Amino acid sequence: MPAIDDVWLDRERLKRTLVSEAVFAEGKSADQIATIAERVAASGGRMLFTRLASEKFEALRRDIRALLDYDPRSRTAVMGGNQTGELVRGRVCIVVAGTSDLPVALEADRALHFHGYAPLLVLDVGVAGLWRLLDRIEEIRSHAVVIAVAGMEGALFSVLAGLVQSLVIAVPTSVGYGVGEKGAAALSSALASCSPGIVTVNIDNGFGAAAAAIKVLGTAAASNG
């Protein structure tokens, strides 16, 4: 059996699944993250780290921090640069209900950039001011995949799915209080929506939403090719 600190990198995951391996940093120590970064650097590879809190990033050795492009808002770090080549634009749109939902949306944004997609970010268009969403709806409709990020009651998911032909991927966030605390109401709204065709990921799972979008777009491109 390998020691608990041993690292086995899945170098073939991108080829198998269209989505690269990512390191979930939340449950790992600074030493474990450093070990992973060293292995990736030694192999000349690339890696996306998610849920890397600022205090844990600062606890890393200076030489390890220098290897990482860290974004404290999304709590993500990229090692080895984003996907090489020109970024694909005009395929994915991330629609964000409010500024409190932005960290989760940016996690999706960073994961998409890592895989070679440059999504359009449409910010602060929650349904409490429906005119703001309607003002951008034609722009949103032009994208094949729409990632909707919302907390509170999660009404944005149903509204968007009723307005666009695109696949809507719902990301409920833990923004809310009372019955909406920790994302419970938003998740229930996404799962119980009367607007058909909504794909729902777990609460605050921006990376999972990006992965779903990458698979949809990648398999569609392969079929068309």
Mean pLDDT along residues 92-115:
95
pTM: 0.90
Residue 23 forms beta bridges with which residues? 49
So what's the pLDDT on residue 124? 92
The mean of the pLDDT values for the chain is 89
In this structure, are 95 and 75 located in the same domain? no
Q: CATH number, domain at 215?
A: 3.40.50.1970
Whether 217 is in a domain gets the answer yes
Residue 1 belongs to a domain: no
For residues 146 and 160, the answer to whether their CB atoms sit within 8 Å is yes
Residue 8 located in a structural domain:
no
Residues 6+ apart with CB under 8 A from 192: none
Place of tokens 């849920």: 51
Whether residues 117 and 198 share a domain: the answer is: yes
The pLDDT tens digits of the residues spanning 2-26 come to 444 566 777 778 788 778 888 999 9
Residues 66 and 94 in one domain: no
Same domain? 97 vs 45: no
**What is the CB-side half-sphere exposure of residue 201 using CA atoms within 13 A?**
22
**Is the domain of 21 the same as that of 118?**
no
Q: Are residues 197 and 92 in the same domain?
A: yes
Q: How many domains does the chain have?
A: 2
Are residues 216 and 113 both part of a single domain? yes
- What pairs with residue 150 in β-bridges? 172
Same domain as 195, residue 138:
yes
| Residue predicted with more confidence, 177 or 73 | 73
Whether residue 124 sits in one domain with residue 65: no
Closest to 169 in 3D by CA, of 149, 150, 147: 147
CA 132 to centroid of chain Cα atoms: 23
Q: Tokens standing for 144?
A: 């094949």
Residue 1 pLDDT class (50, 70, 90 cuts): very low
Residue 225 has pLDDT above 80, yes or no: no
**Per-residue pLDDT, 84:** 59
Give the domain-ending residue among 33, 59, 79.
79
The tens digit of pLDDT for each residue in 139-150 reads 999 999 999 999
Residue among 215, 198, 213, 217 at smallest CA distance from 107? 213
Q: Is residue 49 part of a domain?
A: yes
Q: Is 131 in the same domain as 23?
A: no
3-state helix, strand, coil in the chain (%, to 5): 45, 20, 35
> Domain of 75?
13-79
